[in-house]
C-alpha cells in the first residue's frame, strides 16, 4: 500500500458521524502494517503510537475519520482524487499517518501519536474524550484542510440554539398571531444583535454570523407550535455563556435549548511547532500563509483544554468541504506529507 492507496481506501468506506466502525477497522489495520501500536479507545477513536511510550515528550497529530452525508463516486481523474472526505478530512488524516510512519522508521526519543477521531462533524465526541482523558502533550497538529502551504491558527466558535413554542390551538381569525410569528420575532432579535455587534468589523473572522438552519410548524387540532434551529458562528472575544444569557429575554416564554457550543480559539504563532512548519513549507519551495477559519474544528475542543502549542494543517481546498465536487489534488496531498515529515523531524530533533 502506498500513500494514495491509503487515502483511496479511507475514502472508499462510508463513515458518517457515529458510524465510523468500518473505516476505523481499515485505518487500524493500515497503521499496524506501517509499524504503529494501535488501539481503539472507549469512544471509538483510533489511536496509533510510535516511538518511546515512556517518554516525557509527546507529540499528537489529531485527525478525524467521519464525514458529512453525500456519496461521491471515488475515482482518480486528471491528477485528482474525488470522493467524500478527500478534503474534510481523510486527506489530512492519511497525510498524518504516512508522515509519522516515515519519521518512525528510525528509533524515536519521543512518543508520537496519530489519532483518527470520531464525530468531529457532530458533537466532537472523540475530541472531548481526549481532552478529558489525555494529559496535555508537548504540541498538537489538527488534521484539517488549509492547502499544503497554509497553517491555520484560529477558528471561530459556534452556538446552536433550538427554539420551541407550543400553545393551545386557535382559529386563524382570532387576532392572535400564529406560533411561526413568535419564532420569527426571536430570529429577528438574533439578527439585530448580530448587526449591532458587527458594526465597524470588516473581517469575517471578527463578525457574529447567524444562520436560520431549520423551521417547521406543527399541530394536532388541540395544540399548535413551532420549532426552529438557529446556528451562530462566534468571533474571538464573544463570551458564549454571556450570549446565552442575553438570549433568555428574547424567547418570551418559549423553550430555548442549547444543543451544542464551542468557544472561539486562536493559537499563538510564536512556538517551535509553528516555526517547524514554516521551515518545512519553505524547504518545499512554498510560501507559508497563516489562516483563520470561520468554521470550527477539534482545535476548539482540545486547544483550550490542553493549553499547548497547536495548529491545524492538511492538504486540500477547504472551499470544497461538504460540496458535491469534493476532491483533492494528488500532488498536493503528497507534498503535504513531505512537509509534515520535515516538520516532525525538526520537532523530534
Task: List, by residue number, the catalytic residues.
Answer: 66, 120
Cα angle 324, 98, 125 (rounded to 5 degrees) comes to 60
Amino acid at each position: 500500500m502506498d500513500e494514495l492507496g491509503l487515502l483511496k481506501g479511507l475514502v472508499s468506506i462510508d463513515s458518517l458521524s457515529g458510524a465510523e466502525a468500518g473505516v476505523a477497522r481499515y485505518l487500524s489495520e493500515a497503521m499496524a502494517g506501517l509499524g504503529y501500536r494501535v488501539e481503539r479507545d472507549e469512544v471509538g477513536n483510533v489511536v496509533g503510537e510510535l516511538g518511546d511510550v515512556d517518554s516525557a515528550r509527546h507529540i499528537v497529530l489529531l485527525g478525524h475519520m467521519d464525514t458529512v452525508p453525500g456519496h461521491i463516486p471515488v475515482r482518480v481523474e486528471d491528477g485528482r482524487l474525488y470522493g467524500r472526505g478527500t478534503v474534510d478530512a481523510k486527506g489530512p488524516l492519511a497525510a498524518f499517518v504516512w508522515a509519522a510512519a516515515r519519521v518512525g522508521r528510525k528509533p524515536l526519543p519521543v512518543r508520537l501519536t496519530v489519532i483518527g477521531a470520531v464525530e468531529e462533524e457532530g458533537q466532537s465526541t472523540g475530541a472531548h474524550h481526549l481532552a478529558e482523558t489525555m494529559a496535555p502533550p508537548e504540541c498538537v497538529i489538527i488534521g484539517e484542510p488549509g492547502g499544503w502551504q497554509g497553517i491555520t491558527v484560529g477558528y471561530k466558535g459556534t452556538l446552536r440554539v433550538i427554539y420551541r413554542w407550543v400553545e393551545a390551538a386557535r382559529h386563524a381569525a382570532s387576532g392572535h398571531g400564529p406560533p411561526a410569528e413568535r419564532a420569527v420575532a426571536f430570529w429577528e432579535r438574533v439578527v439585530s444583535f448580530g448587526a449591532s455587534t458587527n458594526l465597524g468589523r470588516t473581517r469575517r473572522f471578527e463578525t457574529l454570523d447567524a444562520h436560520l438552519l431549520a423551521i417547521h410548524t406543527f399541530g394536532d387540532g388541540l395544540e399548535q407550535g413551532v420549532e426552529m434551529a438557529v446556528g451562530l458562528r462566534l468571533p474571538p472575544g464573544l463570551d458564549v455563556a454571556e450570549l446565552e444569557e442575553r438570549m433568555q429575554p428574547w424567547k418570551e416564554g418559549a423553550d430555548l435549548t442549547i444543543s451544542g457550543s464551542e468557544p472561539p480559539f486562536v493559537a499563538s504563532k510564536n512556538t517551535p511547532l509553528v516555526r517547524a512548519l514554516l521551515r518545512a513549507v519553505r524547504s518545499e519551495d512554498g510560501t507559508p500563509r497563516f489562516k483563520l477559519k470561520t468554521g470550527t474544528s477539534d482545535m476548539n475542543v482540545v486547544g483550550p483544554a490542553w493549553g499547548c502549542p497547536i495548529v491545524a494543517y492538511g492538504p486540500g481546498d477547504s472551499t470544497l468541504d461538504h460540496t458535491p465536487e469534493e476532491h483533492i489534488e494528488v500532488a498536493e496531498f503528497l507534498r503535504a506529507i513531505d512537509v509534515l515529515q520535515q516538520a516532525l523531524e525538526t520537532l523530534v530533533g
